[in-house]
Amino acid sequence: MTHPQRFAGKTVIVTGSSGGIGEGIARRFHAEGANVVINARNAAKCAKVAETLDADRTLVVPGDVSKSDFADEIITKTVERFGGLDCLVNNAGVGGGGLLHKTDDAEIDRIIDINVKGVIYLSRAAIPHLIKSAMPGGGSIVNISSVSGIGGDSMLPIYNASKGAVTNLTRGLALQIGAKGVRVNAINPSITRSDMVDGVLSNEDTMKAFMNRVALGRIGEPEDIAAAAAFLASEDAAFITGVNLPVDGGVSASNGQPNLAG
């Protein structure tokens, strides 16, 4: 498939891009001509993805986005290598849940540190460079939130809290830096193929329950999220900011009542 070259000569960081949704997003931006920075905590997995991309347009910066020092490091290395930054995709995230009253401090910190602080730290470090972007439509941040950030899940209250924070951070930050020429949007996927949901995908009963809520009758693929991310970062979305876009097969279209259409 041939993609338009909307990002030729531009530079994009995709956190959590050693697999799943993040890898799909990185590959889509690369296919559209971008310089792409691959990131995850696992250096070997990052390198494996990079091996399949044009080395001249790829930089691997492994590390933990929940550490504020690392946010500065990845931005600095990106700008040194490619001369600037045009888009930040905050994709790195972790799942987790269960009964709140049985969840320890370490698990709470793990989810909040990566899903919330990681987005904040990377965005803070990136904004001064995104303001300088010559990208048509301006520099942009694309956050990967979740349908769990616009509604609740019975067994995921901490994850709901973390993704709800990303959802509303997207709105507030869009208002704060829009006049500086930087757009901020988010994507809210439902169940999408990745290592994070392998346990769900292999459980027939759980999958049946999920499919009862997905109007399009299938799970999402990384490419579905990648197409939306590329659109939101592109000139085609130059007048779109502060949006949380469900890419969920119709899950959020429901009010929760059963589907009686058959």
Alpha helix (H) residue ranges in the chain: 20-31, 43-50, 68-82, 105-112, 118-130, 157-177, 198-201, 204-211, 222-233
Percent above pLDDT 90 for the chain:
84
In whole angstroms, what separates CA 167 from the centre of its chain? 11
Is residue 159 flagged as an active site residue? yes
Structural contact between residues 44 and 22, judged by C-beta atoms closer than 8 angstroms: no
Q: What is the pLDDT of residue 262?
A: 63
**Contact status, residue 153 vs residue 95, Cβ threshold 8 Å:** no
What are the Cα distances from residue 130, in Å, to 47, 75, 76, 102, 120?
A: 26, 11, 13, 41, 15
Chain segment 152-202, per-residue pLDDT in tens: 999 999 999 999 999 999 999 999 999 999 999 999 999 898 777 777 777
Backbone angles phi, psi at 205, to 5 degrees: -65, -40
Over residues 111-134, mean pLDDT: 98
- Determine the average pLDDT of the residues in 66-70: 98
Q: How long is the chain?
A: 262
All structural domains of the chain, each given as residue ranges with its CATH number in brackets, are 11-194+221-247 (3.40.50.720)
Q: CA geometry: angle at 166 spanning 25 and 201, to 5°?
A: 55
Q: What is the pLDDT of residue 220?
A: 92
Q: 90 has which bridge partners?
A: 143
Q: pTM (2 decimals)?
A: 0.96
Q: What is the mean pLDDT of residues 82-94?
A: 98
Instruction: Indicate whether 206 pLDDT > 80.
Output: no
The average confidence (pLDDT) of the chain is 95
Q: What angle do CA 71, 38, 5 make, to 5 degrees?
A: 115
Catalytic residue among 28, 159, 192, 228: 159
* pLDDT-derived band at 208, boundaries 50, 70, 90: confident
CA distance 59 to 255: 43
